[in-house]
Amino acid sequence: MSASAEHHDDPGHGIAHVATIKTLLATGTTLLFLTLLTVLATRVDFGANINLAVAMVIAVTKATLVVLFFMHLRYDRLFHTVVFVSALCAASLFVGFTLMDTSQYQHTNIWDPSVPPPAPVGWHPTG
């Protein structure tokens, strides 16, 4: 509780955690490096899906670094993590459920008027 201005890197600052300069610079440098990496990764052809996966893995890594160190979540109250992670869960639910739903009705879309839509799987019109 008695943190003084002299103890610059004291993580036990009275009110909240103080990030060390080392942590800040290391996080920033890693983020810039990962940005370069993700740009270079698109120049290599791994196939569309793997390229997307690589880009997303890098993006999630970057986001995690930002949240843990720049946003101090690693040293913050657990409850703040709970709040934030539940928002992310809700967001992924939105995406997941919407996709499930629209894929369900894909066969009813007529993309090419000359081709009749295929009969839905597991459902047969009566009469």
Binding region for another protein (CB under 8 A): 1-3, 5, 8, 13-16, 18-19, 21, 24-25, 27-28, 31-32, 35-36, 38-39, 42, 45-48, 51-52, 55-56, 58-59, 62-63, 66-67, 69-72, 76-77, 79-80, 83-84, 86-88, 90-91, 94-95, 98-99, 102-103, 106, 112, 114-115
Alpha carbons 23 and 18: distance in angstroms, whole number = 10
| CA gap 46, 52 in Å, rounded | 9
Cβ atoms 51, 45 nearer than 8 A = yes
**Closest approach of another protein to the CB of residue 3, in Å:** 7
Three-state SS at 66? helix
Of 34 and 126, CB closest to another protein:
34
How far apart are CB 124 and another protein at their closest, in Å?
21
Cα-based torsion angle of the residue sequence 87, 32, 58, 55 in order, rounded to the nearest 10 degrees? 110
Q: Judged by CB, which is closer to another protein: 51, or 126?
A: 51
Nearest-angstrom CA–CA distance, 48 and 107: 24
Among residues 15 and 123, whose Cβ is nearest to another protein? Answer: 15
